[in-house]
Chains A and B, each alone.
Chain A
Amino acid sequence: MICQECHQRPAAFHFTKIVNGEKTEVNLCEVCAQEKGEILMFNGQSGFDFNNLLAGLLKIDPTFQKPSQSPFQQEELLHCENCSMTFPQFLKLGRFGCSHCYDTFKDQLQPVLRRLHSGNWTHNGKIPKRIGGDLHLRKQLEELKEGLQKCISLEEFETAAKIRDEIRSIEKKLTSGYEGGK
């Protein structure tokens, strides 16, 4: 099938669009889908069949589909220990079965999350108090330390000095028993 937008490349994305209760098929190549993709995705849920979209996203993902694999693909066998959901099942439902699924399918999940959340794949918001208020700071510290190494290797010493100050102030907060995360 040829992409309905550019009429050149083969269509890799297949959406079902529902307008006024009428189903319309949308077939786009990867280039055009990425171009229109944001609009399609962001208008999602009410108008678009999200499950098809998700399945579409995963199918074109190179980490998911390796042509050299045997007919019994590894992903077919992968299932959640807790709820026994398989990856094809997840693709079909567009929903996970339990919280353990996030760990089970972590390798497949990262590219999906990046696409769904504008390139983001790690949480940066609220943290339950029982888990500890300093989680944010520890995360931030890790990132800063990485940045520091990079700056040093690039010989950007001025930036490196600034980062070092930030690291110090966070370390101080952590050791002084900073609470609450805010």
Chain B
Amino acid sequence: MSLEHFLNQAVSSWMSEEGPDSDIVLTTRIRLARNFEQYKFPTLFSHQEAQQVISEMEQLLQNSGLQKFGQMELLKIEDMQPLQKRVLVEKHLISPQLAEDSPYGAVLLTENEEISIMINEEDHIRIQCLFPGLQLTEALQAANEIDDWLESHIQYAFDEKYGYLTSCPTNVGTGIRASVMMHLPGLILTQQMNRIIPAINQLGLVVRGIYGEGSEALGNIFQISNQITLGKSEEDICRDLIGVVSQLISQERSAREALRKTSNIQLEDRVFRSLGVLTNSRIIESKEAARCLSDVRLGIDMGYIQNMSKSILNELMILTQPGFLQQYAGGQLRPHERDIRRAALIRERLKMEFNKL
């Protein structure tokens, strides 16, 4: 398969398009957890109940009303190959839990992959909207529209006091998880992130490294999301998140300007060394690739590198995950083989950029 053909198939609009503040905010996601009133939660439901949930959703899919949200397709976990599941996880379209621990799981996906509805994961329904850049209000509106439509056809589990009832009490109430994925190399290089994370936690928000574990964030990419789902409205939850994210954006921008003033040549050197590694390496581990991709993206945003797509970080962070590499290779790869493939894919992708010139 040619790389261009592979990219056409693999890259979703939210990965390649630019949204507001997309020099720092990569994507925005809204997730709503909902359950059917009449069936037990997936924790305890019977095989039969699980099938009923899926067939209810299948019936709704026949309804033309759902089509206004885009052409949708229902994929059952049991029908998917391990590699196919892995690729969907790497694209954040389904959760690892749906792929690995939900035998009766399924997902409704729109063609542009902006909307995915997970079925029979921890809750019966999880509506997810994924937008490029910082678009919390827009994503919330989109999720609400789907939710309203579903709600007119489904009897949701809802309580006047506790709100939308979810399998886990951490999600009860609004059932909302609003999250924003941010590229924060400036705050890392100026060593401010360790100070900022606890402050954000104090505000009831969670900061996570996206691909790394714990505090080590691969590619300087962080996800900021709400923790509290009960007692605040969806709009307030999003507003609070936007407030913190806007502050982070301006802090990141001033960190970048400070770096330009104090260490211009060092920064430029770092950016072009990383570009050199990506353009020339024959073997590259995901950690090194992530670091170099982050540098190159910073170089593009700060104008050191010109005529290169900004989406390269977003795209390649996802496409150089093991599942995608194996899909591109057309079969299983051992870790060492992956590192070779990863290097090759990055080189080829960069060549496409250079050929544009």
**For chains A and B in complex, what number of residue pairs have CB atoms within 8 angstroms?**
143
Taking CB atoms, residues of chain B closer than 8 Å to A103 are 159
Contact in complex: A126, B232 (CB < 8 Å): no
Q: Which residue of B lies closest to A117 (CB)?
A: B230
Bound-state CA distance A139–B233 (Å) is 14
22 examples of A-B residue contacts, CB within 8 angstroms: A43-B206, A46-B208, A93-B43, A94-B168, A96-B167, A97-B41, A98-B39, A98-B44, A102-B172, A113-B169, A116-B169, A116-B170, A117-B231, A120-B173, A123-B172, A125-B176, A125-B232, A126-B147, A126-B164, A126-B174, A128-B158, A129-B152
Contact in complex: B231, A118 (CB < 8 Å): yes
* Of the residues B151, B174, B208, contact of A123 by C-beta under 8 Å: B174
B160 is an interface residue with CB less than 8 A from chain A? yes
A42 is an interface residue with CB less than 8 A from chain B? yes
A67 is an interface residue with CB less than 8 A from chain B? no
Bound-state CA distance A39–B207 (Å) is 10
Tally of contact residues, B, Cβ under 8 A: 50
A149 is an interface residue with CB less than 8 A from chain B? no
Tally of contact residues, A, Cβ under 8 A: 47
* Of the residues B40, B169, B173, B227, contact of A42 by C-beta under 8 Å: B227
Q: 1/0 per residue B147-166: CB within 8 Å of A? A: 11001100011111111110
B79 is an interface residue with CB less than 8 A from chain A? no
B13 is an interface residue with CB less than 8 A from chain A? no
Q: 1/0 per residue B227-248: CB within 8 Å of A? A: 1111111100100000000000
A133 is an interface residue with CB less than 8 A from chain B? no
Bound-state CA distance A2–B137 (Å) is 47
Contact in complex: B233, A128 (CB < 8 Å): no
Kindly specify which of B181-189, B196-204, B264-272, B313-321 makes contact with the partner chain: B196-204
Bound-state CA distance A130–B165 (Å) is 16
Q: Which residue of A lies closest to B49 (CB)?
A: A98
Give me the 10 closest cross-chain CB pairs, A-B, nearest first.
Answer: A120-B231, A123-B163, A99-B157, A125-B174, A97-B44, A117-B230, A95-B43, A98-B40, A125-B233, A99-B165
A171 is an interface residue with CB less than 8 A from chain B? no
Bound-state CA distance A82–B157 (Å) is 14
A131 is an interface residue with CB less than 8 A from chain B? yes
Residues of A within 8 A of B (CB): 19-21, 38-39, 41-47, 50, 54, 82-83, 85, 93-99, 102-103, 109, 112-113, 116-131, 135, 139
Q: Which residue of A lies closest to B144 (CB)?
A: A126
Taking CB atoms, residues of chain B closer than 8 Å to A109 are 169
B337 is an interface residue with CB less than 8 A from chain A? no
Most B-side CB within 10 Å, residue of A103, A112, A128: A128
Interface of A is mostly: loop
**What is the minimal beta-carbon distance from A95 to any residue of chain B, in angstroms?**
4
**What is the minimal beta-carbon distance from B343 to any residue of chain A, in angstroms?**
24
Bound-state CA distance A98–B201 (Å) is 31
Q: Which residue of B lies closest to A41 (CB)?
A: B227
Bound-state CA distance A19–B209 (Å) is 13
Bound-state CA distance A118–B204 (Å) is 8
Bound-state CA distance A135–B161 (Å) is 10
Q: Which residue of A lies closest to B174 (CB)?
A: A125
Taking CB atoms, residues of chain A closer than 8 Å to B233 are 124-126
Contact in complex: B231, A85 (CB < 8 Å): no
Taking CB atoms, residues of chain B closer than 8 Å to A96 are 41, 43, 165, 167-169
Taking CB atoms, residues of chain A closer than 8 Å to B41 are 83, 95-99
Contact in complex: B122, A42 (CB < 8 Å): no
* Of the residues B40, B44, B231, contact of A121 by C-beta under 8 Å: B231
Taking CB atoms, residues of chain A closer than 8 Å to B170 are 44-45, 50, 116
Bound-state CA distance A152–B162 (Å) is 30
Taking CB atoms, residues of chain B closer than 8 Å to A121 are 230-231
